Homo-oligomer: A and B are copies of this chain.
Amino acid sequence: MVIKVAITDDHKMVLKGIAAMLQGTPELQVVGMYEHAQDTLDNIEKDAPDVLFLDINLPDINGIDLSKMLLKTNPELKIIALTNFEDISFVKRMLKNGVHGYLLKNTDKLELVTAMKTVLSGELFLQKDIQASLLNQGSKKTTDNGLKPKLTRREQDVLVAISEELTTQEISEKLFISPKTVETHRMNIMSKLGAKNSVGIIKIAIEKELL
């Protein structure tokens, strides 16, 4: 049985790289190479891959949302997330949302094939680095919180709007919520980031790469 593989990544080089790695294995067939989320959604049913390697840092949509959409219409599809960094909290969220594997981009051919076989057998595949990080999280409990403060989705919306130099009123109109709600979010952001005012919010947000 031939395994049909598709790849979504906005970097042509990564597309080519994976395709090159998979060539030479006759039981594998690359049926789709997509550069954007929309390409993927448009062609996934037509191409009907068994496995999709999905870059989670796409420009137009985040990997979690795209995974959800794809799995809703293609429940049989196995998705292996691709990423540059091992962001543990992100890995967790992806796995909770039905993604079947998680690969760093510096992966060799052997691991690529192993990952595919694993997910096709219905199991989860995690690289050993990521596995180790997940284990550390459970026991230590301290690792994740020192670096990046975790904002909620709405808080991030407000954060972005603040960084766009909008006033509370303007933000409320943009997000369709009351100005009072915007203030609440801003206060919570300040508290989470340890900022004294909006200037501090922006400074810290840029520092911690939240923007």
CB distance from A161 to the nearest CB of B (A): 10
What chain B residues lie within 8 Å of A108 (beta carbons)? 12
Please name all residues of chain B whose beta carbon is closer than 8 Å to the beta carbon of A28 when the two chains form the complex.
Answer: none
Neighbouring B residues of A195 by C-beta, 8 Å: 165
Distance in angstroms from A91 CB to nearest chain B CB is 18
Residue contact B14 to A21, C-beta cutoff 8 Å: no
Measured between beta carbons, the chain B residues less than 8 angstroms from A18 are 13, 16-17
- By the criterion CB–CB under 8 Å, are B16 and A21 in contact? yes
Interface size on A, residues (CB 8 A): 32
Q: Is A11 an interface residue (CB 8 A)?
A: yes
**With known contacts A35-B106, A165-B200, A195-B165, A14–B11 Cβ distance under 8 A:** yes
In the complex the two chains form, what is the Cα distance from A196 to B161 in whole Å? 13
Interface majority SS on A: helix, strand, loop or mixed? helix
Residue A84 is within 8 A (CB to CB) of chain B in the complex: yes
A199 at the interface (CB under 8 A from B): yes
Residue of B nearest to A108 (CB): B12
- In the complex, chain B residues whose CB is within 8 Å of the CB of A162: 199
A130 CB to nearest chain B CB (Å): 16
Cα(A59)–Cα(B84), bound, Å: 11
Alpha-carbon distance between A18 and B11 when the two chains are bound, in angstroms? 11
Tell me the smallest distance from the CB of A141 to a CB of chain B, in Å: 21
Nearest Cβ on chain B to A115's Cβ, whole angstroms: 13
A105 touches which one: B12, B163, B165, B202 (CB < 8 A)? Answer: B12
Shortest CB distance A100–B (Å): 19
Asked whether, in the complex, the Cβ of B12 is within 8 Å of the Cβ of A196, the reply is no
How far, in angstroms, from A153 to B167 measured CA to CA in the complex? 29
B106–A10 CB distance below 8 A = yes
Residues of A at the B interface (CB closer than 8 Å) are: 10-21, 35, 84, 105-108, 162-163, 165, 167, 195-203, 206
* Smallest CB-CB A-B distances: 4 pairs: A17-B17, A20-B20, A13-B17, A16-B17
